């Protein structure tokens, strides 16, 4: 038997993403030289929602990319054949402030893989991390710069983000 519970409603998610968008712009002193890169799959629609929020209040279209990390994962040999999705970057990342976007931060291993994948595409000025849900249980020293909601969990619980 599964014990499902709703963590964020659609309105809660919208408010969290708008708040995160404001925090990104404030920390980066504007939206110039900023690029959002969503991790394939669920980070990509979140990145698009954050950039839409920035466009609403800042009037700037922040470029959005998608990053596939499957070939950079440290568990690659223990998984079935990985499904490789496209990495699409809207412009060179050299000299940019990159905000990686993911749905859930758990062990930190996906983010480590994302940083390795990102560095194969250039050298940004900075790399920041935004996650909708931070559930703790880190195995690596990785911390999100922007968090929609902290959700303490046990190791055997699963957090699933559904973006419609």
Rounded Cα–Cα distance for residues 9 and 138 (Å): 26
Structure tokens given for 54? 């920035």
Q: Are 81 and 52 in contact (CB under 8 A)?
A: no
Mean pLDDT of 135-154: 92
The verdict on whether omega for the bond into residue 100 sits within 30 degrees of 0, i.e. cis, is no
Residue pLDDT, tens place only, 90-122: 999 999 999 999 999 999 999 999 999 999 999
Per DSSP bridges, beta strands 97-105 and 34-39 are parallel
Residue 86, CA distances (Å) to 2, 34, 61 in order: 34, 21, 22
Rounded Cα–Cα distance for residues 30 and 44 (Å): 22
Q: Are 161 and 104 in contact (CB under 8 A)?
A: yes
**Of residues 2 and 161, which shows the higher confidence score?**
161
Contacts 24+ apart (CB under 8 A), 158-164: 159/7, 159/104, 159/106, 159/133, 159/135, 161/42, 161/103, 161/104, 161/132, 161/133, 163/13, 163/42, 163/45, 163/46, 163/103, 164/10
What percent of the chain lies above the pLDDT cut of 70? 93
**Per-residue pLDDT for 1 more than 60?**
no
**Per-residue pLDDT for 79 more than 70?**
no
Handedness of CA 64, 137, 76, 127 (dihedral sign): positive
């Amino acid at each position: 038997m599964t014990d499902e519970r709703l963590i964020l409603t659609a309105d809660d998610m919208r408010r969290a993403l708008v708040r995160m968008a404001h925090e990104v712009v404030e920390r980066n002193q504007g939206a110039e030289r900023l690029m959002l890169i969503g991790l394939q799959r669920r980070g990509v629609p979140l990145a698009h929602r954050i950039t839409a929020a920035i466009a609403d209040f800042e009037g700037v279209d922040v470029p959005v990319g998608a990053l596939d990390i499957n070939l950079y994962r440290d568990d690659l040999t223990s998984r079935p054949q990985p499904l490789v999705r496209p990495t699409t970057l809207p412009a060179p990342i050299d000299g940019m402030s990159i905000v990686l976007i993911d749905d859930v931060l758990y062990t930190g291993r996906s983010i480590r893989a994302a940083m390795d994948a990102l560095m194969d595409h250039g050298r940004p000025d900075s790399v920041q991390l935004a996650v909708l849900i931070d559930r703790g249980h880190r195995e690596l020293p990785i911390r999100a710069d922007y968090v929609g909601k902290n959700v303490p969990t046990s190791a055997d619980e699963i957090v699933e983000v559904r973006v419609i």
